[in-house]
Amino acid sequence: MKSLFIISLTSTIVSAQILAQTSAAYQRFGYITVNGTRFLQNGEPYYIAGANYWQGMNLASDFSWGGNRTRLENELAHLQSIGINNLRIMAASEGPDDQPFRMRPSLMPSPGIYNEHILTGLDYLLDALDKHSMTAVVTLNNYWHWSGGWADNDSDIPYPPSWIPYPVNNYSTGSYDEFYDYAYRFYDDDTISSTTNQLFKNHINAIMMRRNTINGKLYNEDPVIMAWEIANEPQLAPKEWTSEIAKFIRQRSPYQLVTAGIEGKYGFEDFWNTHSSTEIDYTTCHLWVENWGIYNASDSSSSNLQSALDYADSFISNCSGWAVGMGKPMVLEEFGMARDAWRDPSFPLYKYNPGTATTHKDTYYQHILQLIQKLASHGASAGANFWAYSGDGYPSDIPNSFDMVWIGDPQHEPRGWYGVYHNDTTVSVIKEYAQSIVNGQ
Ligand SMILES: *[C@@H]1O[C@H](CO)[C@@H](O)[C@H](O)[C@H]1NC(C)=O
Ligand SMILES: *[C@@H]1O[C@H](CO)[C@@H](O)[C@H](O)[C@H]1NC(C)=O
Ligand SMILES: *[C@@H]1O[C@H](CO)[C@@H](O)[C@H](O)[C@H]1NC(C)=O
Ligand SMILES: *[C@@H]1O[C@H](CO)[C@@H](O)[C@H](O)[C@H]1NC(C)=O
Ligand SMILES: *[C@@H]1O[C@H](CO)[C@@H](O)[C@H](O)[C@H]1NC(C)=O
Ligand SMILES: *[C@@H]1O[C@H](CO)[C@@H](O)[C@H](O)[C@H]1NC(C)=O
Ligand SMILES: CC(=O)N[C@H]1CO[C@H](CO)[C@@H](O)[C@@H]1O
């Protein structure tokens, strides 16, 4: 609800409106707004030609804190050159940093304590996105373990089996179901949920009210932030919880959009529960054919690929139909496929050499992006972000001093599984989509 913003923001809102009317520069990077099932920027249709770039704040931090701004600048310039206009990024990661699988160094090593070097990385990234004419979807939490955890101060986290058996599988102490139940307590375990949600709200507040040290802008008044996303894949979150958190965000910024970050895999009821609140501006879907057992990454046959394409058609059409029914935009904000490694099914351990071809992946990307574009032409989708951009990073890179290799695949997944390198043939598929969707239907 746009009318619920807090009083103290009123004067900034008025000045923002005046600025928007008077400053051409401001309009160029104006806030993204929602008109029915479409996004607009300064009155013109705005479609997402996007990438996932969760590692951005760490890459943008100072070299001594594990970043590499030369690389970041190269990568953003490359993404801009192929027509990418939106990056989905993380603005949350929790310590302690001796836990497995995590983004290191973390943004928040312990509750309420921030690593200013990583926050400065986030400042730098947001400023750089503005310079490259991109917007950001800023993710504030994560259901999964690769960026940290809040509940119970990390005691006995039942880490699920890693998708990569080596070298970190020995940290896994639980099943996916056990981890799911553990994380779900964030919403509904009375013994911790008031604390975890207060810590979460404190975090949201700290991020949204931050003043960027590079350009002086307040985050909650910076149009480079198209949207705040409650969490990466909040699983079956209670409707009231989603609405309450979304409202908390809206009260701190009436102009930036709010979304939840779900996959849509649980079907219409969950999609509706998550997105029907007036506090949620647009809907999201994530599509994972291998992880969900549709696509067999050991099988090079065209029928295997075809089953992935058919499933994608059905899944995306369903999400699109639900979103249109609710009168809100829909963004496919994650999808991906493995390279043509045809893993040995009895030994799924695989290092994805960047020289491995991507024939299935390229066909899959093209099929999905053409469907997204076709739907967009009649307002039934608002665009897509592929998962994920690795840029100039390769699995074989020497880990930095924090033992991290920054590529598009998080630590719990095989390096190179889903990432797109700057020199992949997939890039031309993405470029074709980006240029046609951004240049209008
Ligand atoms: C907003 O959507 C309505 C209904 O589709 C349309 O008639 C109108 O032109 C749109 N406004 C802009 C500024 O595109
Ligand atoms: C930083 O990135 C650049 C560009 O990708 C690369 O050439 C350089 O080796 C990187 N620096 C370090 C120390 O990794
Ligand atoms: C897991 O295995 C790695 C590599 O063999 C080893 O360095 C590490 O100490 C092991 N960790 C645990 C918790 O056993
Ligand atoms: C996946 O494909 C491989 C290679 O054709 C086959 O050996 C394996 O049984 C398949 N796995 C499943 C679950 O169908
Ligand atoms: C899409 O919805 C139809 C009708 O409810 C259902 O039969 C189908 O399984 C759904 N597709 C996917 C991929 O979930
Ligand atoms: C991209 O560059 C990497 C590293 O140099 C190389 O291994 C790979 O074969 C290249 N990919 C293509 C498609 O040329
Ligand atoms: C969920 C929870 O109880 N978190 C606590 C973890 O420990 C820190 C520091 O002692 C507390 O501030 C948190 O409230």
User: What is the CA(346)–ligand 4 centre distance, in A?
Assistant: 9
Sign of the CA dihedral running 270, 272, 276, 279: positive
Atom of ligand 7 nearest to the CA of 153: 6
Q: What is the pLDDT of residue 19?
A: 42
Question: Residues of the chain with pLDDT > 70: what percent?
Answer: 88
Check whether the bond before 105 is cis (ω within 30° of 0): yes
Residues with CB under 6 A from ligand 4: 296, 298-299, 345
Q: What is the pLDDT of residue 163?
A: 61
**Candidate from 195, 196, 198, 202 with most ligand 7 atoms within 8 A of CB, to mutate:** 195
Q: CB of 314 closer than 6 A to ligand 5?
A: yes
Q: Using one digit for the tens of pLDDT, what is the confidence trace for 173-190? A: 788 999 999 999 999 899
Residue whose CA is closest, atom 7 of ligand 4? 345
Q: Using one digit for the tens of pLDDT, what is the confidence trace for 195-246? A: 999 999 999 999 999 999 999 999 999 999 999 999 999 999 999 999 999 9
Residue whose CA is closest, atom 13 of ligand 1? 43
Q: Over range 309-320, report the average pLDDT.
A: 98
Of 149 and 336, more confident: 336
Q: How confident is the model at residue 156 (pLDDT cuts 50, 70, 90)?
A: confident
Closest ligand (CA of 59): 2
User: What is the CA(356)–ligand 6 centre distance, in A?
Assistant: 8
Closest ligand (CA of 41): 1
Class of domain 16-438: alpha beta
**Candidate from 314, 320, 371 with most ligand 5 atoms within 8 A of CB, to mutate:** 314
Q: How confident is the model at residue 412 (pLDDT cuts 50, 70, 90)?
A: confident
Assess whether pLDDT exceeds 90 at residue 151. no
Q: CB of 43 closer than 6 A to ligand 1?
A: yes
Amino acid at 319: C
Q: What is the pLDDT of residue 415?
A: 86
Q: In what order do the strands lie in the sheet with 38-41?
A: 32-35, 38-41, 44-46
Q: How confident is the model at residue 152 (pLDDT cuts 50, 70, 90)?
A: low
Assess whether pLDDT exceeds 80 at residue 9. no
Dist CA 262 CA 331 (whole Å): 11
User: What is the CA(121)–ligand 2 centre distance, in A?
Assistant: 16
Assess whether pLDDT exceeds 80 at residue 413. yes
pTM to 2 decimals?
0.91
CB neighbours of residue 1 within 10 Å:
12
Q: CB of 184 closer than 6 A to ligand 5?
A: no
Give the range among 33-37, 301-305, 350-354, 419-423 with minimum mean pLDDT. Answer: 350-354
Q: CB of 318 closer than 6 A to ligand 5?
A: yes
Closest ligand (CA of 424): 6
Q: CB of 163 closer than 6 A to ligand 3?
A: no
Q: CB of 133 closer than 6 A to ligand 3?
A: no
**Candidate from 99, 114, 153 with most ligand 7 atoms within 8 A of CB, to mutate:** 153
